[in-house]
């Protein structure tokens, strides 16, 4: 009966006995799709023959330069992404069991092998290897996500907002592209004069360098605000810091700053190459007009960022966010949510509800930082 392998495979047979090697090769020729078989007589010879196209390794554990589990350990180290099938003799069945416990996908007793059993063992060994690698990737992803979450939570600021006159909420979420650290940052500070200062920014790129740069920008912003520096002085200082700290000249940063007046009746904003804030005033939902008010930081040395003044009134909500929110695929559609879609969702809700808004925005393809500041009318 013809053995069955559903795809043409590339195998490496590590066997010093010519008779045993010939038997295996003849049995494999009976497969429905006979595999390409490379032969090595020693582990040292196998080093030169192992390559990424090798999908399965059949190894005898009695080789001239390695014996027993020592041979297996060397093969596993040489071929971490290939399935490994151990060939043993009748007297070495216990070695086969130990080999599976040590990392091999399966073992075969040479005297019991026929074409059908060999083909099935190879197929099953490869499936087990795929499952093992998938599980390993899952565990690694979970560990990386946990570590990133721990780092991100440790890097996020505690708002300096002693006043209870306004409501304040933030969200910081990773996108679906993975667990990479991102350069999104946010902060809120109330100065002694009662003004509430908010920033949301996004360093382009993902990874530890961008995350570190985002933290540096956020700390610099907080320090400057507490020192009384705002407006052009603050932005030019941040621009200089970005140029000094970035790893490559292609790195830029978008951000939005807002300074809410002490009487909470108005806000001054600079939208630096960033998505426009969403404003809800007396039940009317809009985006801040005039945004962006200038290019991102790190692009032009002579850039200017005009101030946008917006009256707020007695009851209002204002949301600053990074582009991860408007790049989400709304409702699973391929098209991103966009600013218009974001405004539509806020109108449907009647106000800004961060959790509900993010849930309805769809799957995040990029990281998200958002700050909501709200003032309710006195009853």
Q: Tell me phi and psi for residue 283, to 5 degrees.
A: 85, -5
The architecture in CATH of the region 156-375 reads 4-Layer Sandwich (3.60)
**According to the model, what pLDDT value does residue 364 have?**
75
Structure tokens at 72: 């297996």
Choose among 59, 81, 80: nearest CA to 70.
Answer: 59
| DSSP for 116-155, written as a single string | HHHHHHHHHHHHHHHHHHHHHHHHHHHHHHHHHHHHHHHH
Taking the C-alpha atoms of residue 58 and residue 160, their distance in angstroms, rounded to an integer, is 64
Condensed to tens digits (0 to 9), the pLDDT of residues 132-168 reads: 888 888 887 777 666 656 655 656 788 999 988 999 9
| pLDDT tens figures, 191-214 | 999 999 999 999 988 778 888 899
**Residue ranges per domain, the chain?**
10-136, 156-375
Which two tokens mark 362? 């769809």
For 88-113, give the DSSP string: E-GGGHHHHHHHHHHT-SEEEEGGG-
What pLDDT score was predicted for residue 190? 96
- Does CATH number 3.40.50.2300 belong to domain 10-136? yes
10-residue block means of pLDDT along the chain (379 residues)? Answer: 63 91 88 85 90 90 88 90 86 80 88 86 88 83 67 72 91 65 88 96 87 92 94 94 93 96 95 95 90 90 92 94 83 74 91 89 81 84
């Amino acid at each position: 009966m013809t053995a069955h392998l559903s795809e043409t495979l590339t195998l490496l047979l590590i066997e010093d006995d010519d008779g045993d090697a010939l038997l295996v090769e003849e049995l494999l020729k009976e497969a429905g799709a006979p595999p390409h078989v490379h032969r090595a007589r020693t582990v040292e010879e196998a080093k030169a023959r192992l390559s990424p196209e090798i999908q399965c390794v059949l190894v005898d554990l009695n080789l001239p330069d390695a014996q027993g589990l020592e041979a297996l350990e060397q093969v596993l180290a040489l071929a971490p992404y290939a399935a490994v099938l151990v060939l043993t003799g009748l007297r070495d069945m216990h070695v086969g069991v130990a080999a599976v416990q040590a990392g091999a996908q399966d073992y075969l007793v040479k005297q019991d092998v026929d074409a059908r059993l060999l083909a099935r063992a190879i197929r099953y060994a490869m499936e087990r290897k795929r499952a093992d690698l998938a599980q390993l990737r899952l565990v690694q992803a979970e560990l990386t996500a946990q570590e990133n979450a721990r780092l991100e939570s440790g890097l996020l600021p505690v708002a300096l907002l002693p006043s209870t006159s306004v409501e304040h909420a933030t969200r910081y979420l990773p996108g679906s592209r993975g667990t990479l650290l991102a350069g999104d940052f946010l902060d809120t500070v109330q100065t002694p004069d009662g003004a509430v200062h908010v920033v949301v920014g996004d360093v382009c790129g993902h990874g530890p360098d961008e995350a570190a740069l985002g933290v540096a920008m956020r700390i610099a912003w907080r320090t400057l605000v507490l020192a009384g520096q705002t407006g052009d002085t603050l932005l030019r200082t941040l621009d200089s810091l970005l140029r000094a700290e970035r790893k490559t000249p292609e790195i830029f940063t978008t951000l939005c700053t807002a300074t809410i007046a002490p009487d909470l009746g108005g806000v001054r904003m600079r939208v630096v190459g960033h998505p426009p804030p969403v404003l809800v005033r007396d039940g009317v939902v809009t985006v801040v007009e005039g945004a962006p008010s200038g290019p991102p930081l790190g692009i032009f040395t002579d850039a200017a960022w005009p101030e946008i003044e917006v009256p707020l009134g007695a009851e209002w909500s204002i949301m600053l966010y990074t582009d991860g929110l408007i790049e989400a695929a709304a409702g699973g559609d391929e098209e991103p949510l966009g600013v218009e879609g974001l405004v539509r969702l806020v109108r449907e809700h009647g106000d800004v509800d961060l959790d509900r808004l993010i849930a309805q925005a769809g799957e995040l393809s990029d990281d998200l930082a958002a700050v909501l500041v709200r003032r309710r009318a006195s009853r």
